[in-house]
Amino acid sequence: MRRLAVLGSTGSIGTQTLEVVRRNPSDFEVVSLTCGSNIDLLFEQITEFSPLAVSVYDEDKAIELKNRLKTHPQISVDVYYGEQGDVTCALLPEADTVLGAIVGVAGLKPVYEAVKAGKDIALANKETLVAGGDIIMPLVKQTGVSLLPVDSEHCAIWQCLWGERKDNLDRILITASGGPFRGYSREQLADVTVERALAHPTWKMGGKITIDSSTMMNKGLEVIEASHLFDISVDKIDVVVHPQSVVHSMIRLKDGSVLAQMGKPSMILPIMVALYYPDRGQMLLEEFDPFTAPCNCLTFERCDTGVFGLLDLAYDAGRKKGLLPSVMNAANEAAVGAFLEGKIAFLDIENTVRKVYEEYEPRNTKEFGIDDVLGASAEAFARAKELLGL
């Protein structure tokens, strides 16, 4: 039985995690839940899963939830708010595993504190490793906790590596759908709308990651995430555009063997793999059918980095390390937020991230702690907004 703190419970990953719990009630217990502001859904989740504590990032919304709970005296749950609320919910002694599904670098602090406290982490929130991987990974080693990848590509790579000696790994081939704008030119990208960017061809996900998939920044973040999780240089990771999203990633071993993990594009399976590790849960999805589309026609191609420039920028950040990945990530969060609000054009995302990154580069430092990461992130976020006139 895993006793879960689900951070970001109202989002795409959070709700799918709770679906896994709902379908397997004897295998999991929900100890705490947190969200940004969606207290209507959080309230439903409280009534269904009876957590001991919840947190809402938005303080006013937390107060509103408290007032609503007063009219339901049969429900007993502690309500917290803000970053400290996320941390409190992650650290509850009753929880043994933290499912990190907050979006953005906001997820870093609670995961960092949870690792320090010896909790196992099932991690969807890739920005945590992009910004804080150099801090989190040594801490994971030191505390001996399990860091269980939920991001589908990383879950695939992880499974391919089970039982394999580390020095047998030669390269990682991380797959990417290519997003809704695969095959577009720069000119065509100039006037794409939010609606079109949100119409992902194969995956149904939260807003920020869907936009990241359309700029290929998602894959850039995932390359850095993989370099931390599997302790490998970004130059040993290739991005393979695979529009059918059936092969979730591959590894190449030193003798030339290539191992892949396949399945439907659904996050239910990676969530289950992480939460049941080292066991396996019972299949919840339809069976894999190799004879019907898209499984019977798999294709692979290179990413056009002349069009999707953020992928190369992420490789650069992954090589230079220091605070540059945090700066790139935070500038991207600011720009993607502005694009989602309809305030900027699609290509402004890349231009802004690049500008903030290049401005910061001369100040990049190698020695840093979590406060430096959060400070550099806040600074880059503010600078991106300033450049965008917001």
Crossing angle of helices 310-320 and 346-360, in 10° steps, is: 20
Q: Which does 375 bind (CB under 5 to 8 A by kind): ligand NAD, Mg ion, none?
A: none
In angstroms, what CA-CA distances link 222 with 146, 184, 287?
19, 22, 27
3-state secondary structure at position 99: strand
Closest separation between CB of residue 267 and Mg ion, Å? 9
Exposure string for 214-249, b = 16+ CB within 10 A, e = fewer = bbbbbbbbbbbbbbbbbebebeebebbbbbbbbbbb
Q: Which is nearer to ligand NAD, 215 or 252 (CB)?
A: 215
Closest separation between CB of residue 141 and ligand NAD, Å? 23
> Nearest CA to 99 among 80, 117, 125?
125
To the nearest 10°, report the CA torsion of 159, 165, 168, 171: 30
In angstroms, what CA-CA distances link 4 with 47, 94, 145, 184, 251?
16, 9, 15, 42, 30
CA distance 24 to 45: 16
Closest separation between CB of residue 242 and ligand NAD, Å? 16
Q: Which is nearer to ligand NAD, 29 or 212 (CB)?
A: 212
Question: For Mg ion, what does the binding mask look like between residues 108 and 147, x meaning CB under 5 A?
Answer: ----------------------------------------
CA angle 273, 279, 284 (to 5 degrees): 50
Q: Which does 126 bind (CB under 5 to 8 A by kind): Mg ion, ligand NAD, none?
A: ligand NAD
* Site stretch for Mg ion (CB under 5 A), options 148-156, 184-192, 330-338, 353-361: 148-156
Q: Which is nearer to ligand NAD, 24 or 38 (CB)?
A: 38
Contact status: 151 vs Mg ion (CB under 5 A): yes
CA distance 378 to 304: 31
Tokens 């990530």 sit at which residue? 329
Q: Which is nearer to ligand NAD, 241 or 387 (CB)?
A: 241
Q: How many residues bind Mg ion (CB under 5 A)?
A: 3
Using Cβ positions, the residue closest to Mg ion within the complex turns out to be 151
Q: 187: Cβ–Cβ under 8 A, 6 or more apart, which residues?
A: none
Q: Which is nearer to ligand NAD, 14 or 322 (CB)?
A: 14
Q: Which does 206 bind (CB under 5 to 8 A by kind): ligand NAD, Mg ion, none?
A: ligand NAD
Residues contributing to the site for ligand NAD (CB under 6 A): 8-14, 34-36, 38, 57, 86, 101-103, 106, 124-127, 151, 203, 205-209, 267
Closest separation between CB of residue 7 and ligand NAD, Å? 6
Q: Which residues contribute to the site for Mg ion (CB under 5 A)? A: 151-153
